[in-house]
Amino acid sequence: MKIALILDPPVNKNGYNTGASQVIKCYDEQFPALGHEALIMTKSVLDGVPVGPDSYKHVSALLDDLDFDAIHLASEGRLGLLARRYCISRGLPFTTCYHAQYPEFLQTRHGVDPEKPYAYLRWFHNGADIVLVPTQTMADRIEDNGINNTVAVGHGVDTNLFRPREKGFLNLPGPIWLYVGRLDPEKTVEDFLRLDLPGTKVVVGDGSVRAELEAAFPDAVFVGLKLGEELAQYYAAADVFVFPSKTDTFGLVNLEAVASGTPVAAYNVVGPIDAVGDPKVACLKDDLRAACFEALKLDREDCRKFAEERSWAKASQNFVQQQINCSEERLIAQTSYGKEVSARFERRYGQRLDEIECTITDWENFLFGAKAHNLAPRI
């Protein structure tokens, strides 16, 4: 099966990736062993293409040339929107995924009513046949906010790269408290850096607020972006990995830390709860400082054992199965029920469903009022 993977962030096969693009990179690495092929398209295809009708024509032509069997939209940005329109206009089944709790972040940091971004996210994701999420906790949360047809597929970790190593890599006063990730506002890294902790705080990563954080917290060690073997050495050399974000849907870095034998301290929120919710490998508390000291007592061998049970091969198999399910459900819908509904819509409005773009709310109100049907063609 050839699976088109569409996302706005770039996928760097030898360098830094965001959480969403890292997942796509791992699928790309796993698919050949499973007998499948990843066809990756990122927003770089829109470089130099102005916003407007030409951008849709451009993306449509590229997608026509991909010759894919299934298509997955991994982000809700400009490219994701164009690919969504392409799928709907052609009556193609497609999946999406929900990677970040942006409504909650905007509410916490900027006082934005979360209903406003959720209105857009509902419209975007409810057009899909299946919405993939990393955990059941996240599935339950977004379903409570009106995003339907969710399936938890899980994430994995590269246990060959991220493994216990000699701890002498960092010649710094201990304990060593480590953060790895983007230095952007939604990551709330300052929550970690403000903590009164003995030893040394080490920050691995780069981003829009790095200079600001370095100026505000001169006692912390900022080492910039690290990748591959060097990154793995930082994980293994730390005593505790501190994850201060409250808005991640999962946090792959948590699994990378425990695979390296390093316990996690994090807030008791969605993301860490599902990624490293076992009290043998992580301490999750509303008081992040208290969590740090408790995590320091955890057994590093338990961390490694926990990670060894979570592979990207299994997560990739789950993902592929949902692509198959997506196509099968659409075929079922189109054989009887879907044809009947399409005919009803055309009789009433004088237009075919596959010729228009409307919101999922319009579609569901026409069919059932507020009630959706699991096998209805998505629009």
Per-residue pLDDT at 341 exceeds 60: no
Q: Are 14 and 51 in contact (CB under 8 A)?
A: no
Per-residue pLDDT at 335 exceeds 50: no
Per-residue pLDDT at 332 exceeds 70: no
As given in the structure block, the two tokens for residue 231 are: 């990154």
Higher model confidence: residue 193 or residue 78? Answer: 193
Residues of the chain with CATH 3.40.50.2000: 2-156+314-368, 167-308
Higher model confidence: residue 230 or residue 154? Answer: 230
DSSP H helical ranges for the chain: 19-34, 53-66, 78-89, 102-110, 115-125, 136-144, 189-193, 210-216, 228-237, 252-259, 272-276, 288-295, 300-308, 312-335, 337-349, 360-368
Using DSSP, state whether 341 is helix, strand or coil: helix
How far is Cα 379 from Cα 363, in angstroms, rounded to an integer?
7
What number is the average pLDDT over the span 354-367?
A: 44
Per-residue pLDDT at 233 exceeds 90: yes
What DSSP state is assigned to residue 244?
-
What number is the average pLDDT over the span 333-344?
A: 53
What is the full DSSP assignment across 131-147? EEES-HHHHHHHHHTT-
Residue 111 pLDDT level (bands cut at 50, 70, 90): confident
- Phi/psi at 2 (5° precision): -95, 120
End-to-end CA distance of the chain: 24
pLDDT per residue over 160-170, tens digit each? 899 999 888 99
Residue 250's pLDDT is what? 77
Residue 359's pLDDT is what? 43
- The residue to which tokens 């990122």 are assigned: 42
Q: Give the CATH architecture of domain 167-308.
A: 3-Layer(aba) Sandwich (3.40)
Per-residue pLDDT at 12 exceeds 50: yes
Per-residue pLDDT at 346 exceeds 80: no
Lowest mean pLDDT among 80-94, 125-139, 210-224, 318-332: 318-332
- Residue 47: burial class (beta carbons within 10 Å; 0-12, 13-18, 19+): exposed
Q: What is the CATH number of domain 2-156+314-368?
A: 3.40.50.2000
Q: Are 11 and 26 in contact (CB under 8 A)?
A: no
Residue 364 pLDDT level (bands cut at 50, 70, 90): very low
Q: How far is CA 203 from CA 18, 20, 73, 234, in A?
A: 16, 21, 32, 10
> Whole-prediction pTM value?
0.71
Residue 50 pLDDT level (bands cut at 50, 70, 90): confident
Residues 6+ apart with CB under 8 A from 330: 93, 129, 338, 377
Residue 343 pLDDT level (bands cut at 50, 70, 90): low
As given in the structure block, the two tokens for residue 183 are: 């230095």
